[in-house]
């Protein structure tokens, strides 16, 4: 998860010839959840499609995931991964294909408390949730407000990285 390629000299000053970077995916839990379900959906959709083509299927159900889930679900997983891939550098943050330079944007991680009725289904016992907020420095406008569906350990690493 951490890619640290920097060096400190004897006085604790960062050597400026090296780049600090951290790679993380902002939707880890979503990818894990659908990654566990994917083999079953892929097998079921292939079985359904082959049964319909051969005419031996007892249950005929027509739909995008019923017939083409073996193509659609992996494509959705790959696109979710690519859109939520985040790389933190010492001078910028890159999310998907967009880059936000720290000179122009203020990046912060804000934790919020959610009541029980507003919590996600798969993490009901967790009370604190984090958002990644990127704000334009010149106008103060929020450019990106993204829920972090990652572990607390990864959130703490991101906070530590952003505070350096």
What does the pLDDT read at residue 64? 66
Which two three-digit tokens encode residue 159? Answer: 């906070």
**Measured distance CA(48)–CA(57) in Å, rounded:** 7
pLDDT at 137 over 90: yes
Helix/strand/coil percentages in the chain, nearest 5: 40, 30, 30
C-beta neighbour count of 2 within 10 angstroms: 11
- The mean pLDDT value for 28-45 works out to 87
* Residue 26 zone, left/alpha/beta (φ > 0; ψ -120 to 50; rest): alpha
- Tell which wins on pLDDT, 51 or 85: 85
Predicted confidence (pLDDT) at residue 1 exceeds the cutoff of 50: no
At 12, is the pLDDT very low, low, confident or very high (cuts 50, 70, 90)? very low
User: What one-character DSSP code corresponds to residue 57?
Assistant: -
> According to the model, what pLDDT value does residue 19 have?
59
Radius of gyration over alpha carbons of the chain, in Å? 21
Give yes or no for a contact between 97 and 114, defined as CB atoms under 8 angstroms apart: no
- How does pLDDT run across 16-29, given as a tens digit for each residue? 455 578 898 988 88
CB neighbour class for 158 (10 Å; exposed up to 12, middle 13-18, buried from 19): buried
Mean pLDDT of the chain: 81
User: Quick one: pLDDT at residue 36?
Assistant: 92
The answer to whether the predicted template modeling score (pTM) of the entire model surpasses 0.75 is no
Instruction: Give the model confidence (pLDDT) of 72-108 as tens digits.
Output: 888 999 999 999 999 998 889 999 999 999 999 999 9
- Rounded Cα distance, 37 and 79, in Å: 17
Contact present, 87 and 93 (Cβ < 8 Å): yes
């Amino acid at each position: 998860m951490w890619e640290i390629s920097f060096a400190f000299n004897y006085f604790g000053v960062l050597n400026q010839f090296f780049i600090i970077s951290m790679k993380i995916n902002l939707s880890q839990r979503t990818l894990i959840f659908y990654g566990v379900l994917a083999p079953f959906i892929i097998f079921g959709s292939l079985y359904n499609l082959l049964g319909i083509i051969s005419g031996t299927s007892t249950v005929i159900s027509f739909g995008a995931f019923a017939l083409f889930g073996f193509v659609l679900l992996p494509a959705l997983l790959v696109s979710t991964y690519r859109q939520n891939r985040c790389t933190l550098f010492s001078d910028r943050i890159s999310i998907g294909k967009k880059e936000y330079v720290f000179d122009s944007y203020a990046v912060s991680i804000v934790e919020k408390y959610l009541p029980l009725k507003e919590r996600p289904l798969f993490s009901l016992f967790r009370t604190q949730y984090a958002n990644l907020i990127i704000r334009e420095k010149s106008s103060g406008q929020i450019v990106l407000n993204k829920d972090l569906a990652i572990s607390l350990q990864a959130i703490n690493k991101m906070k530590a990285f952003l505070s350096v």
